Amino acid sequence: MARPHPRITELLADGSASSRSDIARLLRVAPSTASAWVGQLIDAGVVVEDGLVASGVPLRGGGRPRRRLRLNRPPGHLLVAELGGNHARLGVTDRTGRLLHSTTSPLTVADGPEQVLGSLATLLRDQPAEGELAGGGLALPGPVQPGGTVRLPSRMPGWAGFPVQEALTESFGVPAVVENDANAMALGEHRTQFGSEGDSITVKAGTAIGSGIVIAGQLYRGATFAAGDVTHTVVHAAGDRPCTCGKTGCLETVASGAGIVARLVEQGIKVTNTADALALARDGDPEATTMIRTAGSLLGEVLSSVVSFFNPQALFLTGGLASSQHFVTAVRARIYDGCHPLMTESLRIEAASLGADAALAGTALLTAAAIRDATL
């Protein structure tokens, strides 16, 4: 018998489905096929039947009342983390991926994988959690390949080719999942906003720029697992500015937090990070405000093509720069100006609702799904 469709657990987790008939309708399969899949998931302990849908009164026309389905919530927890340039966001979730606790600790990704992963393991083990550890997940600021290795990272010295997923599995003794941070953010925000349906793009605009694409409720990773990596798109406004990727004129050099900081320093303004630049803009500094607006406009210019190609329902912005209304407004204005009205008439362009926990939410969902799939 064929394995159950992987979207069944997602539909039950986000509330899109609560019965066999819901699953058959949403997945466009025969009721008998949906029922067989559900039976396998019940036998595996992944899904349980829990009473009747609605009041339990028999349906009109003599049909039988529908049995309510829900995901089993076994005891135990997951540990998840997101690595930034100089921090780690740490989280504890239940076995279904529901976030229970999160915090931030300083950690420098440039210190290399062995040191960083060792420190990260200690930080995660110190988080308050109940029950047995069932799995772990990590979101990284670089392109992640199948098997959990990083390929051609521009801001992660020493990480290229390192077996991150294997190292995490060995360290914790449980299954581990590794994903690109923008992809994790995109999945976490999308499932919160739209469940397992719909299309959206989530852009991380912080020290660097990244984006994740969700189509029909699923992550779209592309042929080389680098879909959405707009940060190294060449833009005219960047001129011949050198980029960390080795090219010149990349969007990152003028639209990222690092790019803004570098340009402010060139003008003799004392800043060391994106937070400093944002603080100056909040205080009304004209140079910082102008650069943040320009960064948003340049990002919007590149995203106009992405929006026109995918025609999503929403474009969510996260990362430090998304906290600036100057930045968000500039992105929105440039996209509206650069796209056909059909692309923008119902398009939502807004800051992500999950904020700093977007990547944790997405990573937890991927980890929980991997554990469920392993039981089938």
Is it the case that residue 352 has pLDDT exceeding 80? yes
Q: Do domains 77-185+357-374 and 197-353 have the same CATH topology?
A: yes
Q: What is the pLDDT of residues 290-306, one digit of tens each?
A: 999 999 999 999 999 99
Q: What is the CATH number of domain 77-185+357-374?
A: 3.30.420.40
Average pLDDT over residues 270-279: 95
- Report pLDDT for 65: 64
Look up residue 22 and give its amino acid.
D
Q: Where are the domains of the chain?
A: 7-71, 77-185+357-374, 197-353
Average pLDDT over residues 362-369: 94
* DSSP state, residue 234: B
Which distant-in-sequence residues (6+ apart) come within 8 Å of 235 by Cβ? 249, 250, 251, 254, 255, 298, 301, 302
**C-alpha–C-alpha distance, residues 199 and 346, integer Å:** 12
- Residue ranges in 146-273 assigned as alpha helix (H): 164-172, 181-194, 252-255, 257-266
Question: Which is higher by pLDDT, 14 or 100?
Answer: 100
Q: What is the pLDDT of residues 70-123, one digit of tens each?
A: 888 777 899 999 998 889 999 999 988 889 999 999 999 999 999 999 999 999
- Report pLDDT for 149: 95
Lookup result for tokens 């406009």 = 297
Q: What is the pLDDT of residues 141-188, one digit of tens each?
A: 999 999 999 998 888 999 999 999 999 999 999 999 999 999 999 999
Domain 7-71 has CATH 3.40.50: no
In this structure, the dihedral spanned by the alpha carbons of residues 288, 319, 145 and 148, taken in order and rounded to 10 degrees, is 130
- Report pLDDT for 155: 84
Lookup result for tokens 């994106």 = 274
| CATH topology for the 197-353 domain | Nucleotidyltransferase; domain 5 (3.30.420)
- Report pLDDT for 59: 45
Identify the band that residue 1 occupies on the pLDDT scale cut at 50, 70 and 90: low
**C-alpha–C-alpha distance, residues 281 and 299, integer Å:** 18
Spatial CA neighbour of 297 closest among 266, 351, 338, 241: 338
Q: 26-32: which pairs have CB atoms within 8 A and are 24 or more residues apart?
A: 26/196, 26/197, 29/5
Q: What is the pLDDT of residues 199-251, one digit of tens each?
A: 999 999 998 999 999 999 999 999 999 999 999 999 999 999 999 899 999 99
Q: What is the pLDDT of residues 125-148, one digit of tens each?
A: 999 998 899 999 999 999 999 999
Spatial CA neighbour of 252 closest among 269, 277, 275, 234: 234
Contact 115, 173 (CB under 8 A): no
Which helix or strand (DSSP H or E) is residue 50 part of?
A: strand 47-52
Contact 133, 77 (CB under 8 A): yes
Residue 174: Cβ within 10 Å count: 17
**C-alpha–C-alpha distance, residues 237 and 293, integer Å:** 14
- Report pLDDT for 272: 94
Identify the band that residue 31 occupies on the pLDDT scale cut at 50, 70 and 90: very high
Question: Which is higher by pLDDT, 9 or 205?
Answer: 205
> pTM here?
0.86
Contact 195, 16 (CB under 8 A): yes
Q: How far is CA 374 from CA 32, 134, 175, 210, in A?
A: 24, 12, 9, 30
